[in-house]
Amino acid sequence: MPSETTLTPPLRLLVITGLSPQVVTETIWALAQRTPPALPSEIMLLTTRAGAAKATRLLPSALTALSRQLGVALPAPEIRVMRDRTGRPLDDIARAEDNRAAADSITAAIRAATADPAIPLHVSIAGGRKTMGCLAAIALSLFGRERDELSHVLVEERFQGRDDFFFPPEPPRRLPLEDGGVLDTAEAHVVLAEVPFVRLRGQWRPESVGSGYAEAIAAAQTALAPPRLELDTTTMTARFGMTSCRLKPSLFGILVWFAERARRGEGAVICPHKLAGAKALAAECLAAVTRLCGSADHEACRAVRRGVADGLRREVLAEKVSRLNRLIRDLLGPEGEPYRIRAEGRRPFTGYRLALPAEAIRIIPEAP
């Protein structure tokens, strides 16, 4: 047996369980069989009131025995009871309102456990009702990071749910059966089945919503929907998917111009000001801003006119594009990627375009 050591690197273990606290030690034992071993520095159970009572009674001694066998100081578990919105502990998940409460509890726990980027999370869905495991897997898809893992520990049925079997002990033991026979723990097979899952965290902004399950699902669904850009020229409001923002005339005019070009299927704007066609591009850009302002003497129009006096200059357009992209990034986070004005090619022949398909863009009212 190795000498007792502290656990490094850190790892959070979250176990979704019901009346079988054995899945905690079985999962840890299975993690210890990896090369190198991956043992938790934090252990949390998410369970029902009855499950918490049973875990409190049986788990401390089982973890002590496992610590002794592994030669590692395993941490004391945090046993957390799922509660409904009034704070009432859940005894079971037998009603629709219990299911909603469990969903919120599991989502909140996984969201909190994935908040620290330095500590990976391992989620076990071996215990509890099937609904609990399903909810945990979905929540981990929403919030999980690259190093996070999902697993189910597989144990032969004859060893399941026994209060005298928490992991394969060394040396093996013989466990009594009701019919007078015995079970030899040397024959026990405990296998950690890793469950691949889709990681969606980078596609939406988890920090933008509360910890409720339904709220997180709705926000992620909105972020993952096909991009839609709607530009209301009467109010100079841009709607990126479900998120709206009013823009200053010069920025809004530039965005409308790029949107109009995208709808016509035109390529990137390449704008060294001495390039052939640069003056025509400048006039086109200025016309878009002027149409919005209602007057060529508007301050925004004068500013754009000064920048394109002898053709569309790269530095003028680059500055507007940078401001637009920064606004979109601050407003939408990773969800804003489809709406960014993309830079293509190398300087001094960098081109800029809005890469949305024509059918994803709507301008209100349509240009005459």
Same domain, 282 and 188: no
Same domain, 201 and 237: no
- pLDDT for 176: 92
Confidence label for 2 from pLDDT (cuts 50, 70 and 90): very low
Same domain, 192 and 246: no
Instruction: Answer whether residue 1 is part of any domain.
Output: no
In sequence order, which residues have a C-beta less than 8 Å from that of residue 137 and are 6 or more positions away?
123, 125, 150, 195, 197
Q: How many domains does the chain have?
A: 2
Task: Please state, rounded to an integer, the average pLDDT across all residues of the chain.
Answer: 87
C-alpha–C-alpha distance, residues 189 and 158, integer Å? 11
- pLDDT for 283: 75
- pLDDT for 209: 74
Which of 190, 223, 256 is the endpoint of a domain?
Answer: 223
Phi, psi of 74 (to 5 degrees): -75, 145
Please tell me the least confidently modeled range out of 52-66, 202-216, 272-286, 319-333.
272-286
The arithmetic mean of pLDDT across residues 261-277, rounded, is 75
For the chain, what percent of residues have pLDDT higher than 90?
61
Same domain, 114 and 250: no
Q: Are 114 and 145 in contact (CB under 8 A)?
A: yes
Q: Is the pLDDT of residue 276 over 60?
A: no
Q: Is the pLDDT of residue 122 over 60?
A: yes
Which of 178, 202, 223 is the endpoint of a domain?
Answer: 223
- pLDDT for 307: 58
C-alpha–C-alpha distance, residues 33 and 192, integer Å? 9
Same domain, 219 and 254: no
Q: Is the pLDDT of residue 279 over 80?
A: no
Instruction: Answer whether residue 250 is part of any domain.
Output: yes
Instruction: Answer whether residue 3 is part of any domain.
Output: no
Instruction: Answer whether residue 154 is part of any domain.
Output: yes
Count, residues in the chain: 368
Instruction: Answer whether residue 259 is part of any domain.
Output: yes
Same domain, 185 and 284: no
Which of 223, 251, 267 is the endpoint of a domain?
Answer: 223
Same domain, 218 and 231: no
SS (H, E, C) the chain: CCCCECCCCCCEEEEECCCCCHHHHHHHHHHHCCCCCCCCCEEEEEECHHHHHHHHHHHHHHHHHHHHHHCECCCCCEEEECECCCCCECCCCCCHHHHHHHHHHHHHHHHHHCCCCCCCEEEECCCCCHHHHHHHHHHHHHHCCCCCEEEEEEECHHHCCCCCCCCCCCCCCEEECCCCCEEEHHHCCEEEEECCCCCCHHHCCHHHCCCCHHHHHHHHHHHHCCCCEEEECCCCEEEECCEEEECCHHHHHHHHHHHHHHHCCCCCEECCCCCCCHHHHHHHHHHHHHHHHCCCCCHHHHHHHHHCECECCHHHHHHHHHHHHHHHHHHHHHHHHHHCEEEECCCCCCEEEECCCHHHEEEECCCC
Confidence label for 39 from pLDDT (cuts 50, 70 and 90): very high
Same domain, 293 and 214: no
Q: Which domain holds residue 85?
A: 12-223
Same domain, 354 and 334: yes
The arithmetic mean of pLDDT across residues 83-98, rounded, is 89
- pLDDT for 350: 79
CB atoms within 10 A of CB 34: 10
Instruction: Answer whether residue 2 is part of any domain.
Output: no
Model confidence over 304-339: pLDDT tens digits? 666 555 556 677 778 889 999 999 999 988 888 899
Please tell me the least confidently modeled range out of 183-187, 274-278, 321-325.
274-278
Q: Is the pLDDT of residue 1 over 50?
A: no
Same domain, 237 and 331: yes
Q: Is the pLDDT of residue 272 over 80?
A: no
The arithmetic mean of pLDDT across residues 145-168, rounded, is 94
Instruction: Answer whether residue 4 is part of any domain.
Output: no
Same domain, 168 and 60: yes
Same domain, 81 and 205: yes
Confidence label for 268 from pLDDT (cuts 50, 70 and 90): confident
Confidence label for 28 from pLDDT (cuts 50, 70 and 90): very high
Model confidence over 196-251: pLDDT tens digits? 999 999 888 787 777 689 999 988 888 788 999 999 988 989 999 888 999 988 78
Instruction: Answer whether residue 240 is part of any domain.
Output: yes
- pLDDT for 347: 72
